[in-house]
Amino acid sequence: MTGVTTSRHYLELSVFPTSPYYARVHVRRVLEGWRRDDLVETAQLLVSELVSNAVKAHTSSSAATETAAHASPDHIWMDLYRTDAAVVLRVWDGSRTPPVRRTPDPDDEGGRGLCLVDLLANGWGYYRPVSGGKIVWCTLVAPPVLPGEGAERSPLWGRPPA
């Protein structure tokens, strides 16, 4: 997972609290177009967490002073692409500070985002492109949809509905 690629599944977002909503809508539309409805709910949760973290990282760091060739300083971006077996979500922000998975206390109001990513994604990590900032990524892998199974499958990788 190195370098930055662009695709038609790229979305540039202003750094606002509403950015996770637009990222979720984008992910839903792309995955439905790929006929991967089985991944929509999980992917929306994960992209929401990653974009929320990017907004926080951007506003709490000196990201506005960094230069990045692929986005303006008051924006973040996300994209998704598919491989043979996985869907990869990526979110860029201007901060070079690495993401940190925390262990929140039960009463803490936040700090669970990367715990959810770690639990639900098949893998996740980050890298720093030479153009600046960082990209946090995660992968989702689901078994192939077999004929006649589509409606009964849970969004969490074929687990039976509760």
The residue type found at 57 is: A
Q: Compute the residue count for the chain.
A: 162
Tell the CATH superfamily of the 10-145 domain: Histidine kinase-like ATPase, C-terminal domain (3.30.565.10)
Confidence of residue 83 (pLDDT cuts 50, 70, 90): confident
Helix (H, G, I), strand (E, B) or coil at 113: helix
What one-letter code names the amino acid at 41?
Answer: E
pLDDT of the residue at 119? 87
Rg (CA), the chain: 16
Distances in whole angstroms, Cα of residue 68 to Cα of each of 58, 110, 129, 136: 13, 29, 9, 16
CB 137, CB 117: distance < 8 Å: no
Which tokens go with 94?
Answer: 């201007």
Q: Using a cut of 0.85, tell me whether the model's pTM lies above it.
A: no
- Give residue-wise pLDDT tens across range 37-77: 999 999 999 999 999 999 988 776 544 444 444 556 688 99
Domain range list for the chain: 10-145
Distance CA 76, CA 86 (A): 23
Which of 23-32, 138-147, 153-162 has the lowest average pLDDT? Answer: 153-162
Looking at residue 23, what is its pLDDT?
Answer: 96
Q: Please give the single-letter amino acid code of residue 135.
A: I
Cα dihedral angle (99, 100, 103, 106), rounded to 10 degrees?
-40
CA distance 7 to 157: 26
